[in-house]
Chain A
Amino acid sequence: MGWSLGTNDASSAFGTAVAARVIKYRTAVIIIAIFVILGAFISGSHNLTSISELAVSNKVIASDDAIEAAVSDGSEASLALKSAIKASIIFFCAGLTVFVMTCLKMKVSSNQSIAGAIIGWGLFHADYTDPQVLAVNLPQIGKFFLTWILNPVGAAAISFALVFLANKFLITRLTKLAGYDKLIKIGYLVAGAFASYSIGMNSAANVTALYYDHINDGVTTNLLTDARLTATIGGLAIALGVLTFSKRVMMAVGTSIAQLSQIEGFLVIIAMALTIVLMGTFMGIPVSISQALIGAIVGAGLVKSPKNVNFKILRNIAISWVSSPLVAGILTYLAAWATKSVLS
């Protein structure tokens, strides 16, 4: 999962800069790898808790009560094994969703697929007809859905503000063409590094949250118990994807937003990164990087005129909102049904 996030999502940090030959591919991947790991190490644990809580309330990760019961009857090892298998099933279903929908050329979000996969598991195993379960789960799910809307909308608003301010105050102060070039180069480096940091912060949780146990009274039934270490492992997995297999996607991302000017290009990336960091800091929920990017592109286009915006790309976000969690949820629901006798 981390490797595929690295090959896909992390490419948005430097795609435009590499495609426009502002920064060499090799330099870009090294910067991405370093800042993804830093983002995961410094701030990655922000998002771990929300995914972990969602996983607990949807019976993917063992709850306090389940652990206590396992300790009392000496079945911690069996519970730990079940937790690992459940996490693997969730990742497999989320990964399969991304793979199949990508093959079908449908828009998909890996972040939303994981959330959908966890909820799908919970719909089978957690009793959603129980008002107590609903009281815990619905606010959590609502928070996830809220961030899915806030993410592109926030990115569009931030991007609009940045491009508007740049037009008003920055371009009028550029006296030399060489200064313009310098601004572009520095702008893309800063934006790329910041975006890499935000991706590390955002996505590391997706990679390892299900192996993390935040309930820790001396007994654990999961592989990892240290939040920072857990997030850093996720960051390392993403960095590996960037370093080994990101060129093709990076070039594709770069050319897909080529209709933007170079200044807009790096401002859009800064807006995307800022949105992701704000979402992680204030909501504690990992969001879709591609949706933040699309939102930021739309926001930049709105500065000139709404006519410049291809509103069809918003339809892609809407499709992704519905299809990614739905398909992943159905897959895990079916997997939960198939493994009921073993993992209940």
Chain B
Amino acid sequence: MFIFSTKNQKVLGCFTDHQNDVRGCFEKFEEFFRLLFSEDSPDRNALQSLKTAIDNYEEAADFELRHIVDLLSQSFLPATRSELISLVVSTDEVANHCQEIARQVYLEKIEIPKVLNADILEIISITKRQLDLMYSAVDKLLNEYNVIFRDRKILDDIRGEESKVDNIEHMLHKRIFELDITLCEKVYYRTLLGDICQISDIIEDISDQIQVMLVERET
């Protein structure tokens, strides 16, 4: 319906590149935990190469973020600009969290009790689904605005996935404090669990931001 400036198209292209980097980062993060939980003593070199891959994706995402912010300074209306910057910064937080957690687990040689492994992997799987839903929502916001404007079910789905993560987190929290380990270890695992679940919260926040953008444009 409208002619778009190349600047706007460039911004949208960079959005896709940034999303791909964050997605790559999260996929490597998932691989990292699957490897960590696969054997009694996981291969440190393999873990390190996954951690390096996470670092590289995070760095690439940071680069794209800066590029987007630069491009946005010359396109879109000021209000939309700040909303999109906030959206991309929040998305970047997902990659930052993945990097921090993987780095912590690798450097501190954390051995997570086996009884928690399956549920942590379940949390990561749900978060990945949630991330895909979020990408779809952002894509719809940018390229199929009329579709998401009418039907916002996808945003409810993202919140639904976060609730699932929340339930598992509470269950694991309880289980950690029933384990026969020291209080220091309990607190340590609870904090790590909280950090992993934080990614799901960030994605839910992004869906809220999209909701706000839509509501503000409602007539």
Contact = CB atoms under 8 A, between A and B. Distances in A.
Given A174-B145, A176-B145, A263-B217, A181 B1 contact: no
A167 B219 contact: yes
Contacts of B76: 178, 181
B10 to A, nearest CB: 11
Nearest to A179: B2
Contacts of A182: 2-4
B177 interface: no
A177 B143 CA distance: 7
Given A163-B219, A182-B4, A175 B80 contact: no
Nearest to B142: A177
A180 interface: yes
A181 B11 CA distance: 14
Contact of A21 (B3, B12, B78): B78
B149 to A, nearest CB: 7
Interface residues on chain B, size class? 20 to 34
B219 A261 contact: yes
B143 A176 contact: yes
B150 A174 contact: no
B77 A183 contact: no
Nearest to A303: B219
Interface in A173-201: 173-185
Interface string A3-23: 000000000000000001110
Contacts of A264: 219
Interface in A248-306: 261-264, 300, 303-304
A175, A263, A264, A304 — most chain B CB neighbours (10 Å): A175
Contacts of A132: none
B47 interface: no
Contacts of B141: 177
B105 to A, nearest CB: 38
B79 A21 contact: yes
A175 B77 contact: no
Interface string B1-33: 111110010001000000000000000000000
Contacts of B142: 176-178
A181 B79 CA distance: 10
Contact of A174 (B1, B5, B79): B1
Given A175-B146, A176-B142, A184 B219 contact: no
B219 A176 contact: no
B216 interface: yes
B13 to A, nearest CB: 12
A184 B141 CA distance: 16
A20 B79 contact: yes
A185 B79 CA distance: 12
Contacts of B75: 178
Contact of A261 (B4, B80, B146, B217): B217
Contacts of A163: 219
A172 B150 CA distance: 8
Secondary structure call for the A interface: helix
B1 A263 contact: no
A262 B217 contact: yes
Nearest to B81: A181
Contacts of B156: none
B178 interface: no
A181 B218 CA distance: 13
Nearest to B149: A171
A261 B150 CA distance: 16
B217 A175 contact: no
A26 to B, nearest CB: 15
A343 interface: no
A107 to B, nearest CB: 27
A75 B146 CA distance: 72
Contacts of A177: 80, 141-142, 145
Contacts of A161: none
Nearest to A20: B79
Nearest to A267: B219
B134 to A, nearest CB: 16
Interface string A35-72: 00000000000000000000000000000000000000
Nearest to A163: B219
A243 interface: no
B219 A171 contact: yes
A263 to B, nearest CB: 5
A229 interface: no
B75, B77, B217 — most chain A CB neighbours (10 Å): B77
Contacts of A180: 80, 145, 217
B144 to A, nearest CB: 6
22 contacts: A20-B77, A21-B79, A163-B219, A166-B219, A173-B1, A174-B149, A175-B143, A175-B144, A175-B145, A176-B142, A177-B141, A178-B2, A178-B5, A178-B12, A181-B76, A181-B77, A182-B2, A182-B3, A182-B4, A183-B2, A185-B77, A261-B217
The 10 closest A-B pairs by CB, nearest first: A178-B8, A179-B2, A21-B78, A182-B2, A261-B219, A181-B77, A264-B219, A178-B4, A177-B142, A177-B145
Given A22-B77, A175-B145, 7 more contacts: A20-B77, A21-B79, A167-B219, A173-B146, A174-B146, A177-B80, A178-B142
